[in-house]
Chain A
C-alpha cells in the first residue's frame, strides 16, 4: 500500500476530489450540464459542417465565397469578405464584453454585470441585424433559394454571345471574354422574372471545334447548406440574446445578489455565448475563408 508520503501532489488531490465530500469536478451541476449541452451541440454543428465538406468535395466546382459574399450595405462596389469580417468582429467584441460581465459577477458588482451584459446584447443584436441584411440581399436581390443556386463557375475559357440582359451583342467586337474558373451570377429578368442564362462560345478541347454553351446553375446543395447552417447558427445567436436579456433583467432586479454565488447564472450564459462565437469561427472558416 502506498502511503501519503509516496503519493504525488496530484494523486493526493485526486483522492481528495473523489472521496465523496464534494463535486469531483469542482463545478456546480448547472455549469457541468452546460458544458455537456455544448458538447452535444458541437456535434450537431460538426454534423452540418461535415455534410457541407462532403458535398463540396463531391462537386467538381463550388461557388467562390469571395464572389458570393462581396456585397455590403455601404454603397455600391464589390468588397469581398469585408462585411462578414465586420460580423465576425461584432461577435468577438461581444464575447469580450461577456467575459467582463462574468468578471464583475465574481466581484459581486451588480451594476458592472448589467452594464457589460447590455453591451453583449447590443453586439449580438448587431450581428443578427447584419445577418438579416445578408440573407435579404441573397434572397431578394441575388435570388438564391434553398433549392436554386445561381452562383456558377466557368469550366472552360470562352466568349459571351449575350450581354447581361440576355440579348445577343450587336457587334462581335463588344463580346466579353471569360476564363475557366471565373464565377458568375445568373440574373433574373426584372419584368418577366425569368432566369437569364447567357450564351457563350468556347473551343472544344478534343476536336478544337467552336461550340456553344450556356451558363449553368451552380451546385444545388449550396443554397440549402448556406441557409440551414448560418440559419441554425443565427438561431443560436437569437436565443442567446433572449437568454442574455432575461438574465440581465434578473441581475438588475437583484435576484442573484441574494444567491451569493458570484453570479453563476451569468457564468453559465457566458459559456453558451462563447460557444456561439466558437461555432462562428468554423462557419466563417468553411463558408467564407476557404
Chain B
C-alpha cells in the first residue's frame, strides 16, 4: 500500500465502516417506508414502490462498488487485472433482462389461461354440412 500512509489507511477503513453502516440504515428505512411502516397508506401508491425499489438497487450497487474497490483493493490493482475480473460480469446484464422478462411472460400466460378457463363455453352453432340437403342418398328397398 504505497499510495497511503498507515494512519491514512486506517482512517479510510473506519470511513468505510461508517459509510456502509449508514447506507444500510438508509436502505432499511426506505424499504420500510415503501411498505407503509413509516407512513401508513404509502404502500398503496404504486409509483412509490418503483421509486423505492430503484433507490434500493442503486444504493446496493454503491455498497458493492465500495466493497470491491476499497476493501478488496481493486482500485489499486493493475487495470488489466481489474478488467479481466469485472468485464465478464457484464454478461449478467443480459441474463437479468432475459430471465425477468421470461418470468413476466409466464405470469401473463398463466393469467390468460385462467381467464380463458373461467369463460362460459359458447354454444357452437350446429355443424351444417355443405352437402346435406342436396345430396342424393340412394335408398334401397326390398
Contacts and interface: CB of A to CB of B under 8 A. Distances in A.
Contacts, number: 139
B103 A99 contact: no
Nearest to B77: A27
Given A27-B78, A285-B56, A57 B107 contact: yes
B18 to A, nearest CB: 10
A290 B17 CA distance: 23
B1 A24 contact: no
Interface stretch (A190-198, A231-239, A253-261, A274-282): A274-282
A58 B35 contact: no
B103 A56 contact: yes
Contacts of A128: none
Contacts of A275: 72
A278 B31 contact: no
B17 A106 contact: no
Contacts of A271: 72
A282 B16 contact: no
Contacts of B102: 54
Interface residues of B, number: 50
B106 A80 contact: no
A93 B71 CA distance: 12
Nearest to A59: B107
Chain A interface mostly helix, strand, loop or mixed? helix
Given A58-B103, A59-B107, A81 B6 contact: no
A53 B53 CA distance: 13
Nearest to A39: B85
B85 A36 contact: yes
Interface in B31-75: 31-32, 35, 37, 43-44, 53, 56-57, 60, 63-64, 67-68, 71-72
A46 B31 CA distance: 22
Contacts of B84: 25
A141 interface: no
A30 interface: no
Contacts of A50: 92, 95-96, 99-100
20 contacts: A17-B78, A17-B80, A24-B80, A36-B85, A43-B89, A50-B92, A53-B99, A55-B103, A57-B103, A57-B104, A58-B103, A66-B35, A80-B32, A81-B32, A93-B17, A103-B1, A103-B9, A181-B43, A281-B67, A285-B57
